[in-house]
């Protein structure tokens, strides 16, 4: 009985670490390369590992996005769009891109070793 319980706990642990592992793989891409893209056009290619803390101002038809790079992370710190969803998304920390629909702005991880798949994406 004891052995059975332990085995059960052991299997649970393996299962949990497996789930945690796949979440991590799904979560943050293994790259520090970030692209800032508008309508399929790459405005900035950034290597967050090498980037100094700075602000990038991107304007689109009178609306502005203030992109902040801090401690090798990137986010939209302020935006001139009505919903400010992009600013509310916080730091880019997964393969889910930061998107500003009104300003046609996408901030996402890019893998330079995998450019063919990026090109294949329909934008
Ligand atoms: Zn926005």
Residue-wise pLDDT tens digits, 48-96: 999 999 999 999 999 999 999 999 999 999 999 999 999 999 999 998 9
Task: Kindly state the helix (H) or strand (E) to which residue 55 belongs, with its residue range.
Answer: strand 54-60
**Which residue(s) pair with 109 in the sheet?**
34
Q: How far does residue 47's CA lie from ligand 1's centre (Å)?
A: 23
pLDDT band at 10 (very low <50, low <70, confident <90, very high): low
Expressed in angstroms and rounded, the spacing between residue 9 Cα and the centre of ligand 1 is 46
97: CA distance to ligand 1 center in Å? 12
Question: How far is the centre of ligand 1, averaged over its atoms, from the C-alpha of 6 (Å)?
Answer: 51
**Are residues 97 and 44 part of one domain?**
yes
Q: Which residue range is the domain that position 9 belongs to?
A: 1-29
Q: Is the C-alpha dihedral spanning 30, 36, 38, 41 positive or negative?
A: negative
Confidence of residue 119 (pLDDT cuts 50, 70, 90): low
Which pLDDT score, from 0 to 100, does residue 14 have? 57
Q: How many domains does the chain have?
A: 2
Mean pLDDT of the chain: 83
How far apart CA 25 and CA 104 sit, in angstroms, is 28
């Amino acid at each position: 009985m004891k052995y059975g319980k332990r085995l059960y706990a052991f299997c649970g642990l393996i299962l949990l670490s497996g789930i945690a592992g796949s979440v991590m793989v799904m979560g943050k891409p293994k790259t520090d390369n970030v692209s800032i893209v508008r309508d399929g056009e790459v405005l900035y290619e950034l290597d967050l590992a090498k980037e100094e803390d700075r602000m990038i101002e991107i304007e689109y038809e009178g609306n502005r996005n203030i992109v902040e790079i801090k401690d090798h992370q990137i986010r939209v710190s302020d935006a001139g769009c009505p919903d400010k969803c992009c600013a509310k998304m916080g730091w880019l920390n997964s393969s889910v891109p930061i998107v500003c629909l009104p300003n046609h702005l996408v901030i996402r991880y890019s893998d330079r070793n995998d450019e063919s798949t990026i090109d294949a994406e329909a934008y």
